Structure 1
Amino acid sequence: MTHEPQIRIPATYMRGGTSKGVFFRWQDLPEAAQAPGAARDALLLRVIGSPDPYAKHTDGMGGGTSSTSKAVILSRSESPDHDVDYLFGQVSIDKAFVDWSGNCGNLSAAVGPFAISNGLVDTRRVPENGVATVRIWQANIGKTIVSHVPITNGEVQETGDFELDGVTFPAAKVPVEFMDPADGGGTIFPTGNRVDDLDVPGLGVLKATMINAGIPTIFVNAEAIGFTGTERQDDINGDPKALAMLESIRAAGAVRMGLIAHVDEALNRQHTPKVAFVARPADYIASSGKSVTAAEVDLLVRAVSMGKLHHAMMGTAAVAIGTAAAIPDTLVNLAAGGGDRTAVCFGHPSGTLRVGAEATRVDGAWQVVKAVMSRSARVLMEGWVRVPGDVF
């Protein structure tokens, strides 16, 4: 019996925001994986270690969570208006598929630093000291992201004193702007309404705000589904009934948003849409043991990613939160106290996060020029990742 030797592929393991993933330059991928399709998906699944019925990713680079089963492919952009093209793959943990339907807002913070360090940005755009502005084309959703990367002595600065709840150690701040964050058609509210009556099988009718900004997201009120908004991961992820209920809401909302035709299709679209529940401010203890007081935040938000409550907040969902908060009378805006807002600070399981967004109404339709938040990023390891040669 013959055995194929392993192949090695240049790769970098990076943290971006509260996520981490394996980063590749497009030109470094095996030729069969340079084009979209089965070979590329098979490669990324094997790199991460999926599908894994144990949900541990012991034989791969993933971490057994939605925040750590991610892959990024970057290439120098051919557009004069952008520096780098960014493609994101959310790798399923227990199923053999890669979801390309959305972006990762957290890893977006690592794209600029990686692109500069790996020669994908024109050196003339990188100062010796200061801030490099990296124009990113997010290929999954067809949107522009602008990253402001600190540079010291001609190199990306990764260390610093910026603290981000959900990340253990401080690092350099990387402000990220998500330009025109509505979906490709520019429709922030796919149903045309800021609040809808969403009929969920087994639950009945729920008030819901369904929004396309950053990532398609369904917001419901925490108290309407028996929650307080102060929950931590174990409170939800250890409750199969709660997870099933949230998935039912997500599937029903996906149909209503026009993302799928039938609720059964939600099984093969795990990355989008997201489902989140909101509540008015309250005191709680974050997962780190830190006390968060009601006076510190405008509202509370908990969000589900890939079938589990997120340990902090997805960056793209934070864009959706900021956008919805800026538009009067959405459930997010009402939970934050209503009125006009250009920024909101919300409480999540690991602490707090501030995101800014400015909304305007043009010809009766709501538009958001950009949403802004600060994250951080750091190289964890670089070199080569190895996979069996018969992975294709």
Structure 2
Amino acid sequence: MHDAWIDKGQEVFLQNYKPLPIVIERGEGNYVFDKEGNKYLDFVAGIATNALGYSYEPLKKAMKDQIDKITHCSNLYYNEPSIRAAQKLVELSGLSRVFFCNSGAEANEAALKLGKRYINKFVNGNKTEIITMKNSFHGRTIATVSITGQTKYHEGFAPLFEGITYTEFNDVEALEMVLTEKTAILMIEPIQGEGGIRPAEQSFLKKARALCDALDIVLIFDEVQCGIGRTGTVFAYDQYGVKPDIVTLAKGLGAGYVIGAIIANEKTALGFEPGTHASTFGGNPLSTTAAGVVLDALVHDGLLEHVKTMGAYLEASLLELKKRHPSIVEVRGMGLMMAIEMDSPVGNAIAMALDKGLMLINSGTHIIRFVPPLTIKQTEIDDMIHILDEVLSPQ
């Protein structure tokens, strides 16, 4: 049965993925189980998405209750779960207005459109340039591929959008040179995710904010992967004391349910008016119910403090592992968004770990990243380190 499902998947899906040969059936706590009953400790979390792990009771109850009420009503009308979730995001972010959509790529698209329309309407229509970082990742649509600063994601999709320049991450001098009176938008991941789990330096983000203020540039932080508690604060920018004009969110915001969002300050939000942007499923009462549960868990149920504690423990554990394995070049990251960079490709190590009941994910050819559910326990970190220690030891 197991092999039959894999064969059927290979037959009916477009071949843009290369899944590992297991069929996931269910999850419990911070573990998932395949159709053969094998148990896996999950340090992938749906790629930093299943923030509350699996079968989290408050989430299950809230979603079941909402299913009994209504699952979709469109943005022609208000619905209470979306208003509640938006209010929480506004209060927690220090920004002013929310737009809900369905994914990180959609959130980044919406942020770009809002930023461009604000600039065109209120600042200067001749400001057309968009600046992003080398090694960045912002999504898989043509627009978000265009602003992604990694050529491997561009291959085969030319011509990409024009007017985009990539500059060096964490290089203040390069940033000063590239931002001009023609720049409309600067977009930065506070922690580069697909680019290898590379945190921004505080001085870099502070300089970015100052330059954007001086030159009337819209500053967007892409927190699709690094936001919603993953660093130990609700937003990664809280770690730096730097506030963007727009922040983009997705992944962990829905704890596995499909959602994306942007939050904008009052000034930039004026770029949108009725009819300028939309999303059929954005603000869906089911997905925003999930977002409300996630935000409550972070703020009211002690999850943020748990992430800080477990993040520090994970980092210390990885540093100890590095002492035993010279093949580990560097440990880096923040909170429960950590990585080890190896001196050789990590594909075999990830496959071997899966055979031992541990799910890991790469971030580039030489990097293993660790983005477990925010509910991960100390004993589970110990188990992960034990398996990884075995995998990295000479065979």
Instruction: Specify if TM > 0.5.
Output: no
From the two aligned structures, give the one with the greater strand fraction: 1
TM-score by length of 1: 0.23
Higher relative contact order (CA 8 A, sep 6+): 2
TM-score by length of 2: 0.23
